[in-house]
Amino acid sequence: SIPVIIDCDPGIDDVMAILLAFTRPELDVRLITTEAGNQAQEITAYNARAITSYLNQTIEVARGLEGPFIRELLFADNVHGTNGLGGINFPEPQVEESSLTAIQAMYKTIMENEEETLIIATGPLTNIGALLLAHPEVKNKISYISFMGGAAVGGNVTPTAEFNVYSDPHAADIVFRSGVPIVMSGLDVTHKAFLNENDVKRIEEIGTDLSKLVVELLDFYKKAAIETAFDEVDHAKNIRLHDLCAVAYTVNPTLFIGDNCYVAIETQGELTKGTTVVDYKQRTPFPKNVHVLHTLDREQFVQLFIDAIETASKL
Ligand code: BDR
Ligand code: CA
């Protein structure tokens, strides 16, 4: 199995992504690092330990940077609640926080693995940007970064910017220009990664403590999504498991279709700050640095998630 680092900001959909990763034999999760994003670093680091511990894993969890390179902190209380997990309290985590910082721990993990490490990133890119600046030698020891973030179709924070990129566009810029291959699960594909009422019913029917917890988390997440839905169709597709896409791709890339494109990050624009500028139509001569996902086999994606909840219930 492949050595994996998950850099995340849990976050309800981050927790679902972590859950999937823990259940897959293809992935050997060696380290979890946390970003300030959906909530403050203090909270996301706690939540990462809480879910790791709840699923009886002993993986190292290292705390990341307190906030973005330049811009001010921005949280997503409306979507994930003030504790980042919809107000649901997990048992006190047994897993201790690592004595290393996220950047030290990522560096160590990447350099000591003989094989290349896969990074799954489901939050802002602050830690990864800092890692690549501090230790550029890690670049050729990373197979690729499976990143949930960005959008070509339109944003969810501003008309064009998606939350994870908008939260730290300068860090995203460093990462996207680093030369490390990137697979981007942006809103183009993650808006297709939704659960409908029937899918939630199937999760309920698993009937374990974990499946009940998942349904509770999804319930909170759904309420927030309904409030921000822009029409009836959007309303019906409201439980979007954005971050799960970044893990699902690493498990089974054939569930997705994408295009190789040049993608740049807008860090300045008055209206467009934090936008991923995706050169779908090849209007620039620049090398294609990102595999941009846009299509998903939703049925199989949902099945993968349901299987993961069943497997994780036995961990
Ligand atoms: C992203 O923003 C966060 O709220 C989610 O966890 C996801 O990573 C979606 O735009
Ligand atoms: Ca996230």
Pocket around ligand 1 at a 6 A CB cut-off:
11, 13-14, 38, 76, 79, 122-123, 148, 156, 162-164, 242-243
- Ligand 1 centre from 112 Cα, in Å? 30
**Cβ proximity of 46 and 81 under 8 Å:** no
CA distance 61 to 201: 32
Q: Which of 230, 300, 228, 293 is nearest to 263 (CA)?
A: 293
- Ligand 1 centre from 214 Cα, in Å? 17
**Cβ proximity of 75 and 68 under 8 Å:** no
Grade residue 298 by pLDDT with cuts at 50, 70 and 90. Answer: very high
Q: Is the ipTM of this complex over 0.90?
A: yes
242 labelled catalytic: yes
Grade residue 232 by pLDDT with cuts at 50, 70 and 90. Answer: confident
Angle between helices 197-206 and 298-312 (to 10 degrees): 20
Supply the residue whose CA is at minimum distance from atom 4 of ligand 1: 38
Residue 190 Cα: closest atom of ligand 1: 9
Q: Quote helix, strand, coil % in the chain, to nearest 5.
A: 45, 20, 35
Q: Per DSSP, which regions of the chain are E strands?
A: 2-8, 27-34, 60-63, 97-101, 117-121, 142-148, 182-185, 194-195, 239-240, 256-261, 263-265, 276-278, 290-296
pLDDT for res 236: 77
pLDDT in tens, 170-224: 999 999 999 999 999 999 999 999 999 999 999 999 999 999 999 999 999 998 8
CA distance 184 to 249: 10
Residue 285 pLDDT > 90, yes or no? yes
Looking at residue 73, what DSSP letter applies? P
Grade residue 11 by pLDDT with cuts at 50, 70 and 90. Answer: very high
CA distance 31 to 105: 8
Q: Which two tokens stand for residue 242?
A: 């954005």
Residue 13 Cα: closest atom of ligand 1: 6
- Ligand 2 centre from 1 Cα, in Å? 24
Q: Which residues pair with 194 in a beta bridge?
A: 240
CA distance 136 to 83: 34
Residue 228 pLDDT > 90, yes or no? no
Supply the residue whose CA is at minimum distance from atom 2 of ligand 1: 163
- Ligand 2 centre from 192 Cα, in Å? 17
CA distance 294 to 183: 11
**Cβ proximity of 137 and 179 under 8 Å:** no
CA distance 95 to 120: 21
CA distance 17 to 26: 14
Please list, in sequence order, all residues whose beta carbon lies within 8 angstroms of the beta carbon of residue 288, skipping any fewer than 6 positions away.
260, 261, 262
**263 phi/psi in degrees, rounded to 5:** -130, 130
Closest ligand to residue 38's CA: 1
Provide mean pLDDT across the span 230-248. 90
Closest ligand to residue 276's CA: 1
Residue 91 pLDDT > 80, yes or no? yes
Closest ligand to residue 77's CA: 1
Looking at residue 274, what DSSP letter applies? T
pLDDT for res 247: 99
What is the pTM assigned to this prediction? 0.98
**Cβ proximity of 36 and 69 under 8 Å:** no
- Ligand 2 centre from 286 Cα, in Å? 29
Provide mean pLDDT across the span 77-103. 95
Supply the residue whose CA is at minimum distance from atom 10 of ligand 1: 163
Q: Which of 80, 242, 291, 294 is catalytic?
A: 242
